Amino acid sequence: MKTDWSPLTAELALWRREDLTLPFWWRDDDAVADTPALARLTRLAQDTGLPVHIAVIPDLIEQSLPLVVDITHELIPVIHGWRHISHAPQGAKNAEFGQPRAGADGELRGGLHRLRGRFGARLLPLFVPPWNRMDPAYLPVLADAGYRAISTYGPRESNKTEGLHRINTHIDPIFWRGDRGLVPPETLVTGLTKTLCDKREGRSDITEPLGLLTHHLVHTEDVWAFSTDVCRVLLDGGAVPADLRAILDGA
């Protein structure tokens, strides 16, 4: 697979010329256990020097995951729903917390409580709703339960909502609506370049960290390769790893 990175590297050069800082973070969804795919994800994080925030499904977690996180500095656990099952009505898009329902508040509180018990201080109290969808009515529940941030997909409209930091992702290399392989690389590079241009020119929030979204359990070789390359191109081009814990502790 050969990717033409020149549009992105040209945009990154403009960021450097204008002395702009590009914080960059990585979120990987659906972690439940220590697997060969997680080991590969960890090696990639170590090789690039970019920590990966693994979104852990609380009700499905296996004991092997906390054991490996405990000895792996590059893995930062966050909370990914409760059981990652859709409660959407027929015809609606998948969502675990897409509409009010009985028991949902308890699942949100229980997810944070369970993962705090498994990971202790290593857990970052950031909530990732499955399928990146969530009814805004749940935001006060998250804040009251002790969550500090929420992460979905796409440029954020504000840096805080109901007291929760918004730290979204913006690059997803998987072709979910196609063969679940890699989105055509030229499409990814064009979209990423536009995302950065919009930030630089003030059409979106330049202070929001740029986020890569991956799913290690379903990666094809092409997705692994692109994920590796995009991290290196961004970091070599001047992006810096974002410290999400410092962001959450800052206000």
Give first-to-last CA distance, the chain, whole Å: 43
Q: What is the pLDDT of residue 1?
A: 66
Q: What is the DSSP letter of 58?
A: G
Is residue 251 predicted with pLDDT exceeding 90?
A: no
Q: What pLDDT digit, counting tens, does each position of 6-36 carry?
A: 999 999 999 999 999 999 999 999 999 999 9
Rounded alpha-carbon distances, angstroms, from residue 243 to 16, 23, 129, 200: 20, 8, 21, 20
Write the CATH number of the domain with boundaries 6-246. 3.20.20.370
For helices 6-17 and 185-200, the axis angle rounded to 10 degrees is: 20
- Is residue 52 within 8 A of residue 76, CB to CB? The reply is yes
Q: What is the pLDDT of residue 2?
A: 85
| DSSP secondary structure letters along 10-57 | HHHHHHHHTT---EEEEEEEEE-S--HHHHHHHHHHHHHT--EEEEE-
pTM of this structure: 0.96
- Model confidence at 72, pLDDT cuts 50, 70, 90, reads very high
Give exposure, 82-109, as e/b (b: 16+ Cβ within 10 Å): bebeeeeeeeeeebbbbeeeeebbebbb
Chain centre distance of CA 184: 21
- The letter for the amino acid at 49 is G
Q: What pLDDT digit, counting tens, does each position of 208-238 carry?
A: 999 999 999 999 999 999 999 999 999 999 9
Measured distance CA(226)–CA(182) in Å, rounded: 8
User: Which of 29, 51, 79 is closest to 217 using CA atoms?
Assistant: 29
- Model confidence at 70, pLDDT cuts 50, 70, 90, reads very high
Q: What pLDDT digit, counting tens, does each position of 101-159 carry?
A: 999 999 999 999 999 999 999 999 999 999 999 999 999 999 999 999 999 999 999 99
Give exposure, 9-43, as e/b (b: 16+ Cβ within 10 Å): eebbeebeeeeeebbbbbbbbbbbebbebbeebbe
| Mean pLDDT value of segment 85-101 | 95
The domain segmentation of the chain, as residue ranges, is 6-246
Measured distance CA(170)–CA(155) in Å, rounded: 7
HSE toward the beta carbon, residue 235, CA cutoff 13 A? 17
User: Mean pLDDT across the chain, nearest whole number?
Assistant: 97
Q: What is the pLDDT of residue 105?
A: 98
Q: Which residues contact 179 (CB under 8 A, 6 or more apart)?
A: none
